[in-house]
Amino acid sequence: MSAAAAAGTWKLGDLEVNRIGYGAMRLTGNGMMGNSDGAPIDRDVAVGLLHSAFEQGVNHVDTAAFYFSPLRSANELINRALSSWSGNVVVVTKVGPGRDPSGKWLDAVRPDQLRGQVEENLRQLGRDCLDVVNLRAGGPRTASIAEHFGALAELREAGLVRHLGLSAVLPEHVTEAQKIAPVVCVQNSYGLDWRRADESGLVDLCGEQGIAFVPFFAVSGLRREAAAGQEHDARVRSVARAHNATPTQVRLAWTLHRGPHVLAIPGTTNPAHLAENIAAGSLRLTEDEWALLGKPDEGTV
């Protein structure tokens, strides 16, 4: 059994993936909002890193056409890695936000502009059909997504997209989208220090409907795009010591412990951190440890 398979598997529609995946945002050297997170790694090094992830059993990669910097595009690095890889890897991308070539964020994308974004992902990834496309909600959090999701459903019917998902949404958006086309995954910010998806019932709703819940920022938490900083939570440090693990592994294990439908997509450009993240799938928290970590400290969001 591969390292990434230790946490088990889940199906995105008819596509079975290991619950530990890889988030490609950091490959560009920039956070999603354009915040610099260091220089991008060499292209050959990036391909080698992705191949290492695949060799360790990662078969689910998260990306987006708007993950780019002046020198790197996450999609094109993934394309290059997959062109020299014989195994099956599910690529999940996102549409909704848009950036011009300078990196400036564009105004809200209209439903009729989503086809262009899907085609851009197809071109960059070298695909004829995208495995999964997530609609990342834009505008007011409570706004309807029906028109945008409906446009993607039409592209699914046309054969450009295999499955659809959602990102940065509320429970009512999931209900709204499910009336239009099947939703196979939901990506939202979620982790030990950021539990709004619990408070809203979104995590449980996804589990009840057989939808994968895929947290982003599960490790960095309130630091968002920034890499995880020094661990300040004494509870996490205590559990890490008990398992001879790192705080990052404990945070990932806590997320996966939340339910069999919860996946993880940690990103890194460090080979050692990559192996560490993947190995977190084999860490099993005791019920006492789960109870300890499940009690938010004062001020936890």
- Side-chain-side CA neighbours of 229 within 13 Å: the count stands at 8
- Which amino acid appears at position 256 of this protein? L
**How many angstroms from the chain centroid is the CA of residue 60?**
9
Catalytic residues: 67
| Both tokens assigned to 82 | 């997959």
For residues 73, 106, 264, 48, the Cα torsion angle rounded to the nearest 10 degrees is 0
| Pair type for strands 130-136 and 161-167 | parallel
